């Protein structure tokens, strides 16, 4: 099975890529350039559908790859996920503790200078 694709990020329909900034295809304005743009949209609809098919094909392939990875590496992925999750939890606990320490430090200084609740800044 051969598959090639040359699509860019997002929709590759010229109607959406080139003409939506002026609102033509969305708002159905009826000046001469809009009519030409709408005609281009219709002509390129088949191309747009082929782009959609490419994107769907890639999504299905991605799902198959995920299933293969899970089947062959599930235990290792579980271990990695656990380590990363715990590391992230510790990072946020540390960040929260540091914010509390900074707030406590600020309040102590404010009390020494006689300006609690940030009134020294005014």
Write out pLDDT tens, residues 17-62: 544 444 444 444 445 566 677 667 777 998 999 999 999 999 999 9
CA distance 47 to 102: 58
pTM (predicted TM-score): 0.44
Average pLDDT over residues 60-76: 96
CA 89 to chain centre: 23
Query: For 82-110, how does the pLDDT look when each residue is reduced to its tens digit (9 = 90+)?
Result: 999 999 999 999 999 999 999 999 999 99
Q: Which residues contact 17 (CB under 8 A, 6 or more apart)?
A: 10, 11
Whole-angstrom CA distances from 32 to 28, 38, 59, 99, 107 are 12, 10, 39, 61, 67
DSSP letter assigned to residue 115 = -
Q: Of the given ranges (2-16, 29-43, 69-83), which has the lowest mean pLDDT?
A: 2-16
Retrieve residue 64's tokens.
């198959």
Counting Cβ atoms within 10 Å, is residue 63 exposed (0-12), middle (13-18) or buried (19+)?
A: exposed
- Binning pLDDT at 50, 70 and 90, where does residue 115 land? confident
């Amino acid at each position: 099975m051969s598959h090639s694709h040359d699509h860019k990020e997002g929709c590759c329909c010229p109607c959406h890529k080139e003409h939506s900034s002026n609102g033509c295809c969305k708002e159905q304005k009826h000046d001469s350039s809009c009519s030409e743009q709408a005609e281009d949209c219709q002509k390129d609809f088949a191309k747009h559908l082929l782009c959609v098919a490419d994107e769907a094909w890639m999504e299905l392939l991605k799902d198959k790859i995920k299933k293969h990875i899970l089947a062959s590496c599930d235990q290792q992925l579980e271990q990695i996920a656990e380590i990363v999750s715990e590391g992230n939890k510790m990072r946020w606990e540390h960040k929260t503790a540091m914010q509390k320490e900074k707030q406590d430090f600020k309040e102590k200084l404010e009390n020494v200078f006689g300006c609690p609740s940030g009134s020294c800044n005014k």
